[in-house]
Amino acid sequence: MVEMKMPKKKVGGLAGVVVGDSAICTCGLEEQTLSYYGYQIEDMAEHACFEEVAYLLLRGRLPNAKELEIYQTQLAAKRDLPTALKTVLEQIPSNANMMDVLRTAVSFLGNIEQESESYGALEIADRLIASLPSMLMYWYQFHQTGKRIDLDTGETSTAAHFLRLLYGTKPSELQRRSIDVSLILYAEHEFNASTFTVRTITSTLPDFYSAICGGIGALRGPLHGGANEKALDLILRFNDPESADKGIMDILEKKELIMGFGHRVYTSSDPRSPIIHSWAKKLADSVNNPNIMAVAERIDSVMAREKNLFPNLDFYSAVAYHCADIPQDMFTPIFVFSRITGWSAHLMEQRAKNKLIRPNSNYTGPGVLPWLPMQQR
């Protein structure tokens, strides 16, 4: 008697499938919550700075005041770039996608600052946290102004460092803190597409940089990191709330995808959205642009009314970044500046108890076929 094989369980996009253990993040556990090593996202956004959260994610505990001061000083010292990398950045075309710029820069840095027994994962993680904004802004300003900018800004925070390189002047405290909070919100989110990519690559035991380059590639897509850029495209299509209401209804009638709403893990709300919403409103008010918030909030209400969908982090992040005068092409790279902390934490956790990640597929192809000689094809 021939034993029949039962078909494998088929789950689109691995939705709801648990594929491993992690102590880093709870995402959607016990309703709509998010925490890093047990600390709630609301508390971190209210009380912490991004460097504090980076320290937590990479070292598993919060720093005390002295440790945080030392860590911020250490990161500031790691922001400059090797001359060889600056030369590479100068050669990348001015019209390149900014995510491609970061991917190339990280890959090249891996050639000249190679991982070794004496230069390990934690050191590389800190180096990338410190230098990713420098990589992007050196390339950007070189091609915008023709100048080789000084990457020593004297700023203690990652957010202020990035904004100062962008603006050429010291950012306001509202601008700095809004981006600082944004970096906290984007830092970690369990086994999302880019993080799972990093863990999958890591499971094959390559170097640190190879896994991070894979994460950048996964984040580049509009269904993941690029969603905030698409959300701004949508918001800027409408001049007022009334046209937004009608326009969204038209889009829904055509069954087109609307970016920035719903989430694979959360079912009723994204706990990060109210936080970035409040900062987006402050920024919009500061630049005297209440209309953009009115349009965004009307889109929000229409999606809730018609589709019972809620805004995710990307939706109001788009408004916040726009009102902070950040170029739209930089929205997803900012995600990288933040998520490098979560990627690095997962990379080190995967290495600590590694097992090759190799799932099965549900075969849907033809059965066994006879081989056709060349003359019969």
* Structure confidence at residue 7 as a pLDDT band (50, 70, 90): very low
Query: What is the model's pLDDT at position 267?
Result: 80
Q: Is the Cβ–Cβ distance between 273 and 313 less than 8 Å?
A: yes
* Structure confidence at residue 5 as a pLDDT band (50, 70, 90): very low
Residue 3: is its pLDDT beyond 60? no
Among candidate residues 126, 270, 300, 314, the one labeled active-site is 314
The overall average pLDDT reported for the chain is 93
| Catalytic status, residue 314 | yes
Residue 16: is its pLDDT beyond 70? no
Residue 4: is its pLDDT beyond 70? no
The SS3 of residue 300 is helix
Residue 28: is its pLDDT beyond 80? no
* Structure confidence at residue 33 as a pLDDT band (50, 70, 90): confident
Q: Is the Cβ–Cβ distance between 68 and 51 less than 8 Å?
A: yes
Among candidate residues 263, 277, 322, 346, the one labeled active-site is 263
Q: Which fold has domain 23-220+335-352?
A: Citrate Synthase; domain 1 (1.10.580)
Mean pLDDT for 293-310 is 96
Among candidate residues 100, 143, 207, 224, the one labeled active-site is 224
Closest by CA position to 103, among listed 219, 25, 2, 6: 219
Q: Is the Cβ–Cβ distance between 126 and 78 less than 8 Å?
A: yes
Question: 227-235 vs 331-352: helix axis angle to the nearest 10?
Answer: 160
Handedness of CA 108, 71, 219, 171 (dihedral sign): negative
Looking at the chain, the domain(s) classified CATH 1.10.230.10 span 227-323
Query: What is the model's pLDDT at position 31?
Result: 62
Q: Could you tell me how many residues make up the chain?
A: 377
Looking at the chain, the domain(s) classified CATH 1.10.580.10 span 23-220+335-352
Mean pLDDT for 127-145 is 98
Question: What is the spatial distance between Cα 316 and Cα 82, in angstroms, rounded to a whole number?
Answer: 36
Question: What is the spatial distance between Cα 310 and Cα 312, in angstroms, rounded to a whole number?
Answer: 6
Residue 209: is its pLDDT beyond 90? yes
DSSP 374: G
Mean pLDDT for 273-301 is 97
Q: Alpha helices, DSSP H only, in 48-97?
A: 50-59, 65-77, 83-91
Architecture of domain 227-323: Orthogonal Bundle (1.10)
Question: What is the spatial distance between Cα 79 and Cα 83, in angstroms, rounded to a whole number?
Answer: 13
Q: Which residues pair with 39 in a beta bridge?
A: 36
Residue 241 tokens read as 């709330």
Cα distances (angstroms) measured from residue 317 to each of 242, 293, 312? 22, 12, 9
- Compute CA 293 distance to the chain's CA centroid, rounded to the nearest angstrom: 23
Q: Alpha helices, DSSP H only, in 287-360?
A: 290-307, 313-323, 331-352
| Catalytic status, residue 263 | yes
Q: Which residues contact 94 (CB under 8 A, 6 or more apart)?
A: 143, 144
